[in-house]
Amino acid sequence: MEPLTSILLHPERRVGADMARWAAAGGGQALARAAQDPAGVRVAIREADLRGMGGSGFTVWRKWEAVAAELPKPDKYLIVNGNEDEPGTFKDRMLLEETPHQVIEGALVAALAVGANRVVFYVNPDLKQSLAAVDAAIAQWHASERLAQASKALGRTLELSLRPASGHYIGGEETAAISWVEGGFPFPRGKPPYPAQAGVHGCPTLINNVETLAHVPHIVVHGAEWFRSLGKAPGTGTKLYSLSGDVLHPGVYELPMGTTLRELIFEHGGGLLSGKPLKAVFTGGPSCSLLTPVNLDVGLDFDSLRACGGSLGTGAMIVVSEGTGIVKRVAEYMRFFAHSSCGQCNSCKVGTATMSRLLDRIDTGRGTAADLDTLENLCALLPGSGRCHLISGTVQLLDSSFRHFHNEYRQALR
Ligand SMILES: Cc1cc2nc3c(=O)[nH]c(=O)nc-3n(C[C@H](O)[C@H](O)[C@H](O)COP(=O)(O)O)c2cc1C
Ligand code: SF4
């Protein structure tokens, strides 16, 4: 078995909120460099082709450049998105719990690079250990010279704070997170204006995922070339894959970005439970397309998956073995999405509820061919109809299950 690639999850870095041990393992070097050359950090991030690990895979440098170009009004914010509430995704909690200083350093480097003075850690309120670790680690930064030095480099006081999120899945969407940080309900907002121009209290705001920011110190210290070489082209760097479902060794695996599904499941995950054949993989968490055994040799990176009609999402891989009913699983996830819709857009509120109701009917043997037709029509009508991506992600799941397992839907009809 190929050894695991541990950069973010290297045992030396898994020291919890212990600043001395984190520093002994090289922690702090990136921040010192960023203080000397913040613009150079943006160049390194661009050359490394770092992507957003919160689900979109958006190129990080574009957002950073947009925020850096804005003047503070009067502040600039950075939100570290640790909402992590989608089924099957459990990587950020591990980073926050086991390596909070690494994430804080990444956030402070990003803050210097874009000129943000307020850094808010926005963490799922149910992740008690992550909250405790971040809280303890922030207290250590406040007591250390490092934060004062970073403030000096920025030219104003850098504030680090922790804001438990609302406990809603939708609260992870970037504009919903902004609304919650402002003190409102986490309702997504229409864009434009984009957070880079008008985010928290109208101030320019950068929002990045926990894992995205954890990569930053390593790129700054070791360089873009080194980072790119860690991935399997076109992937760059490493990726935390959350592997779960019918697999022998579920867990978080840090592997080269672009590792194949076959390697992840069979080499690292030990294969399927009871040696059953693979039927499908819900990726994303489940808000992306399904992968099937024909995709076993596709690289799990943003571009390769997009090229075959899928998407990497957060890197969650929920493995399903032969013998599992796809209709039942999709109906379960649809219930989750219908429950998670914030209800602002009629198409999403009514659409997710309708899809959930029809899927439950079909799954329990009461569905008709007309129900199936309605679902198929909704798949064509709903994408892009909401303020945020929730509705499109939900449809992507259903549509993809139709593409691969239409026969199961037909068989389940009354
Ligand atoms: C419904 C929904 C939920 C989301 N939840 C999260 C989340 O829990 N964590 C996260 O980092 N991004 C989440 N996102 C993506 C964010 O909107 C945003 O793209 C991300 O935080 C940007 O960081 P990145 O560029 O580093 O990925 C969610 C998006 C949607 C539409
Ligand atoms: S698409 Fe759905 S979750 Fe997103 S804002 Fe509209 S109603 Fe809310």
The ranges assigned to domains in the chain are: 11-228, 232-321, 326-412
Pocket lining: 55 vs ligand 1, CB cutoff 6 Å: yes
Pocket lining: 124 vs ligand 1, CB cutoff 6 Å: no
Write out pLDDT tens, residues 352-409: 999 999 999 999 999 999 999 999 999 999 999 999 999 999 999 999 999 999 999 9
- pLDDT at position 3: 53
Query: Hunting for tokens 């397309």 — which residue is that?
Result: 289
Task: Please state, for a pLDDT cut of 70, what percent of the chain lies above it.
Answer: 99
Q: How confident is the model at residue 284 (pLDDT cuts 50, 70, 90)?
A: confident
| CATH class assigned to 326-412 | mainly alpha
Write out pLDDT tens, residues 84-106: 999 999 999 999 999 999 999 99
Write out pLDDT tens, residues 192-217: 999 999 999 999 999 999 999 999 99
Q: How confident is the model at residue 176 (pLDDT cuts 50, 70, 90)?
A: very high
Buried b (16+ CB within 10 A) or exposed e, 162-190: bbbbbebbbbbbbbbbbbbbeeeebbbbe
Supply the residue whose CA is at minimum distance from atom 22 of ligand 1.
208
CA of 129 to the centre of ligand 1 (A): 21
Pocket lining: 341 vs ligand 2, CB cutoff 6 Å: yes
CA of 270 to the centre of ligand 2 (A): 38
pLDDT surpassing 80 at residue 4: no
- pLDDT at position 414: 82
Mean pLDDT of 134-159: 97
CA of 280 to the centre of ligand 2 (A): 28
Pocket lining: 190 vs ligand 2, CB cutoff 6 Å: no
pLDDT surpassing 50 at residue 2: no
Query: Which ligand 2 atom is at minimum distance from the Cα of 176?
Result: 5
If one counts every other C-beta atom within 10 angstroms of the C-beta of residue 132, the result is: 15
Q: Which ligand is nearest to the CA of 52?
A: 1
Write out pLDDT tens, residues 216-275: 999 999 999 999 999 999 999 999 999 999 999 999 999 999 999 999 999 999 999 999
- pLDDT at position 304: 97
CA of 211 to the centre of ligand 1 (A): 11
Write out pLDDT tens, residues 41-55: 999 999 999 999 999
Pocket lining: 209 vs ligand 1, CB cutoff 6 Å: yes
Question: CATH number of 11-228: 1.10.3720.10, 3.40.50.150, 3.40.50.11540, 3.30.70.2610?
Answer: 3.40.50.11540
CA of 373 to the centre of ligand 1 (A): 32
Longest CA–CA separation in the chain, Å: 70
Query: Which ligand 2 atom is at minimum distance from the Cα of 385?
Result: 1
Task: Please state, for a pLDDT cut of 90, what percent of the chain lies above it.
Answer: 96
CA of 169 to the centre of ligand 2 (A): 11
Asked whether the beta carbons of 215 and 290 are under 8 A apart, the reply is: no
What are all long-range contacts of 262-268, with beta carbons under 8 Å and residues at least 24 apart? 262/296, 262/297, 263/2, 264/300, 264/317, 265/296, 265/317, 265/319, 267/1, 267/2, 268/1, 268/4, 268/243
- pLDDT at position 1: 47
Mean pLDDT of 19-36: 97
- Residue in 91, 180, 102 with CA at minimum distance from that of residue 134: 102
- pLDDT at position 410: 97
Tokens of 320: 């399903």
Contacts of 14 (CB under 8 A, 6+ apart): 98, 99
Q: Residue 145: in which H helix or E strand, if any?
A: helix 145-154
Query: Hunting for tokens 């054949």 — which residue is that?
Result: 277
| CATH class assigned to 232-321 | alpha beta
